[in-house]
Amino acid sequence: MIDYIAVFITFFAVIDPIGTIPVFLAVTDKYEPKIKRRVALLATIVSAFILVFFIAAGEILLRALSIPLPAFQISGGIVLFLFALNMIFGESKPEEEIKLLSQSHKETAIFPLAVPSIASPGAMLAAVLLTKNAVFTVWEQMQTGLVVLSVLLLTYVLMLLSGFIVRFIGSSGASVISRVMGLILTSIATTNILSGFHDYNVLLKS
C-alpha cells in the first residue's frame, strides 16, 4: 500500500491547486459564470487524461526510447528542483502563466490552464517517478492514480470557488502558499535525485 499522505503532498505541490486560482481568474476574467465553469471542468478533464497517461504509459515510453528509469529519475529530479526554485525565487506561477492567455475559452482551458498550470511538467515527472513498475504493483499504481484524481478534483473545486478564495487570502496569500509548496518540492526533488543515483549504481553492478 502506498503512503497516501506523502503522495498527496507531492502531487499537491507539483499541481499547485492554490497557485492555479489566480491563473484561472485571470484567463476567465472576460467570461460569464457559465463559461467559467465549463473552462474549469474541461481543464480538469484534460489534466486528468494527461497525468493518467503518464502513470499508465510513462515508463513504457521510456523503455521504448531505451532510457533507463534511474536516468529519468535523476533528470526528473533536477527538473523538479529547478521548477521548485522557480516557484520560490522566480516569477510566481500566476504572473508567469497569465502571459500565455488564449482567445477561445476551449483553448484557454487547455493552454495555459490544463498545460502547463495544472498538468505541469513537474506533475508529469512525478506521475512517472511515483509509479515505477519495479517498485509498485498495479494496484498501488491505481491507488496513486486515485490520489492524483483527488488532487485534480480539489483543484476543480477551488477554481469554482476562486472568486471567494482570492477575496479571502488575496493574490499575495496565494503567492506565499505557492512558494511554500516550492520549498517542499525541493526536498522531494533532492530525494528523487539521490534515489536515482542509488538505483543507477545498483543497475551497473547487476
Range of the domain at 143: 4-205
What percentage of the chain exceeds 90 in pLDDT?
35
When pLDDT is cut at 50, 70 and 90, the band that residue 102 belongs to is very low
Are the C-beta atoms of 206 and 68 separated by less than 8 Å?
no
pLDDT > 70? residue 105: yes
Instruction: Decide if pLDDT at 29 tops 70.
Output: yes
pLDDT of residue 92: 53
Q: Among candidates 57, 5, 11, which has minimal Cα distance to 155?
A: 11
In this model, does residue 20 exceed pLDDT 90?
no
pLDDT band at 7 (very low <50, low <70, confident <90, very high): very high
Classify residue 104 by its DSSP letter.
S
Question: Would you give the DSSP letter of residue 161?
Answer: T
The more confident residue out of 24 and 189 is 24
How many domains does one find in the chain?
A: 1
* pLDDT value at 110 more than 80: yes
Look at 13-27, 58-72, 87-101 and tell me which has the smallest mean pLDDT.
Answer: 87-101
**Chain-wide mean pLDDT for the chain?**
84
Residue-by-residue DSSP string for the chain:
---HHHHHHHHHHHH-HHHHHHHHHHHTTTS-HHHHHHHHHHHHHHHHHHHHHHHHHHHHHHHHTT--HHHHHHHHHHHHHHHHHHHHHSS-HHHHHGGG--SSHHHHIIIIIIIIIIS-HHHHHHHHHTT-TTTS-HHHHHHHHHHHHHHHHHHHHHHHTHHHHHHHHHHHHHHHHHHHHHHHHHHHHHHHHHHHHHHHHHHHH-
